[in-house]
Amino acid sequence: MDLFDLSGRTAVVTGGSRGIGLMIARGLLSAGATVVLSSRKADACEQARTDLLADGTGADRVRAVPADLSREDECLRLAAVVGEHIDRVHVLVNNAGATWRAPLAEFPASAWDKVVDLNLKSPFFLTRAFLPLLEADGTADDPARVINIGSIDGLRVPSVPNYSYSASKAAVHHLTRVLAAELGPRHVTVNAVAPGPFETKMMAATLEARGEEIAAASPLGRIGRPDDMAGVAVFLASRAGSYVTGAVIPVDGGISTTC
């Protein structure tokens, strides 16, 4: 199983304080990595560390660096703070994200700025800021990894009016391919994961209102589980995923490909 072993590796997970980021952080920790979590709220990052300690998933290997990653200066600061303590990063997970729903006629300009700043510009700024640390780790046989968290809403037309969100996710999928072409020769892979429905704060209202219906309509008949997200992240981060780049992997129980 050393194919999936991440011992001695460092991973940075944005939006790692809860939801899908925490699912991924837990998976990478279980595989042996040291994890740096980042989100805006220091207390939420600390709570995540406490939760990881409580379930024994290697909390001694977790650090938290709060940052508002919707701003480029904060993306640069996060990379600088991480670089003060370590000289190489194996995996950067660009997961922090936000959504906005409003009818077409009322959809405000601020919903474009907020969502595009965090969901699209931030993965670009973070990847560029972390590049020296990623290149310090990557080799031809075992490249460093960037994992962007997209969405099935960027693969097919969503059923809700989230114009800036679905457009930002389609764009991050394409940015993934563009950066994969450029960074492959520099020994960094760039892939995207496109999650279907997972139980998180972002999805709480939708799943409360329509969770059973959404699950029943999917080929596998259920909502995503934490292990589903941990599994794909460990695969992409480990030696098992070292020949995969420029891919957009739906982890959605088959919704985007069959429904």
Ligand X SMILES: NC(=O)c1ccc[n+]([C@@H]2O[C@H](COP(=O)([O-])OP(=O)(O)OC[C@H]3O[C@@H](n4cnc5c(N)ncnc54)[C@H](OP(=O)(O)O)[C@@H]3O)[C@@H](O)[C@H]2O)c1
User: Which residues sit opposite 198 in a β-bridge?
Assistant: 224
* CB of 239 vs ligand X, minimal distance in Å: 25
Nearer to ligand X, 10 or 70 (CB): 70
Pick the closer one to ligand X by CB: 3 or 102: 102
**Least distance (Å) between residue 117 CB and ligand X:** 8
Known active-site residue 243: no
Kindly give the interhelix angle for 72-85 and 122-137, rounded to the nearest 10 degrees.
20
| Beta carbons of 235 and 241 less than 8 angstroms apart | yes
| Pick 21 or 138: Cβ nearer ligand X | 21
Binding site for ligand X (CB under 6 A): 14-15, 17-21, 39-41, 44, 68-70, 95-98, 118, 149, 151, 195, 197-198, 200-203
In the complex with ligand X, the residue whose CB is nearer, 14 or 34, is 14
Instruction: Please report how close the Cβ of residue 51 comes to ligand X at its closest, in angstroms.
Output: 13
Q: How far is CA 192 from CA 30, 99, 118, 244, 254, in A?
A: 21, 18, 16, 11, 16
Minimum separation from the CB atom of position 78 to ligand X (A): 9
Beta strands in 95-252 (DSSP E): 144-149, 188-195, 248-251
CB closer to ligand X out of 105 and 157: 157
SS3 at position 177: helix
Q: Which of 130, 163, 165, 235 is catalytic?
A: 165
CB of 1 to ligand X, least distance (A): 27
- The CB-based long-range contact list for 237-240 (8 Å cut-off, 24+ gap) reads 237/6, 237/9, 237/11, 237/28, 237/31, 237/33, 237/90, 237/91, 237/145, 237/147, 238/3, 238/4, 238/5, 238/6, 238/31, 239/2, 239/3, 239/4, 239/5, 239/142, 240/3, 240/4
User: Which residue numbers are catalytic?
Assistant: 165
